[in-house]
Amino acid sequence: MPALSEVIAALDALWPRERAEQWDAVGTVCGDVGNPEVLVDRVLFAVDPVQEIADEAVALGAQLLVTHHPLYLRGTTTVAADTFKGRVVHTLIRHGVALHVAHTNADTADPGVSDALAGALDLHVLRPLVPDASDPRGRRGLGRICEPPRPMRLSELAEWAAQRLPVTAQGIRAAGDPDRTIRTLAVCGGSGDGLFAEVRAAGVDAYLTADLRHHPASEAREHSPLALLDAAHFATEWPWCEQAAAQLDEVSDRHGWGLRTHVSRTVTDPWTAHAASHGAFAHGAAPGGPSESDRSAIDDITSGAPN
């Protein structure tokens, strides 16, 4: 079995810490890395370092938990066990489980988070959306420009994504003409509404990402006919866990470590339920006010409302 320090060195080679954004908090959060007697034979990969995942690592008998999201993204003054993050730290240390984070340094890697997202959707990756200027091969960077396996209508592409990404309460939302043919699209795992300018400059037909807010999405739709597909944050980043585990498997095989890697299938997306809209106004209702049936529905809703 390899020492924890050897496995951490391998993770740092795959996703160098210096390639993370300055605001990010990546690397080893807890674990006795300097102790050569601390060995690793099981590693669990997950998106979020929440208590449920910490408990899963303990139950699995893992000595190392690798997550995409940081536990402490901002500074803290306590790791007391009566705080939820402190409880995670206590659980991991008590059971000898180290925690390592690869976040924005995994986003821009080659392969990175968006490559894994594209792979889950059977897309053909053409190039990065925002290339890393320090990569002479032009393969690293944020997001990816892709082609679907065949031209698809927007509604078909939304269903395609819904069938291939982890099931979440949100599912896939789409903005644009459902019948528009999509031949090229950009994808970005995680929150991607800060990249609309780069997406428009790429000239793609659609953009699939997560956490699309009302105002940026509305403005993007006014700028151009770009179609939007909005998935849950967790769903767009979970495929990286499988990709990352496979990468560590390759390192383990090369060194003869015999590591056993596992990917958590626990859905840690915070949203747990979804109710389809049945309100008074349908999307795209004609200008000039509600229809007769809409007015009837509004009367039913407001008849008991206080003045």
Could you list the residues known to form a binding site, using ranges: 68-69, 107, 233, 237
Secondary structure letter of residue 18 according to DSSP:
G
Tally of CA atoms within 13 A in the half-sphere of 273 that contains its CB: 2
What CA–CA distance (Å, rounded) separates 71 from 171?
26
Beta bridge partners of 146: 125, 185
What CA–CA distance (Å, rounded) separates 106 from 241?
10
Burial 79-104, CB ≥16 within 10 A → b, else e: beeeeebeebbbbbeeeebbbbbbbb
Answer for the pair 28, 71: CB distance below 8 angstroms, yes or no. no
Give the number of other Cβ atoms within 10 Å of residue 132's Cβ.
Answer: 18
Answer for the pair 125, 144: CB distance below 8 angstroms, yes or no. yes
Could you tell me which residues are annotated as the binding site for a divalent metal cation? 68-69, 107, 233, 237
Q: Is 257 helix (H, G, I), strand (E, B) or coil?
A: coil
Q: Using CB atoms within 10 A of its CB, is residue 268 exposed (0-12), middle (13-18) or buried (19+)?
A: middle
Cis peptide before 111 (omega within 30 of 0): yes
Q: Using CB atoms within 10 A of its CB, is residue 30 exposed (0-12), middle (13-18) or buried (19+)?
A: middle
Among candidate residues 199, 247, 192, the one with its CA nearest the CA of residue 224: 199
Tally of CA atoms within 13 A in the half-sphere of 82 that contains its CB: 0
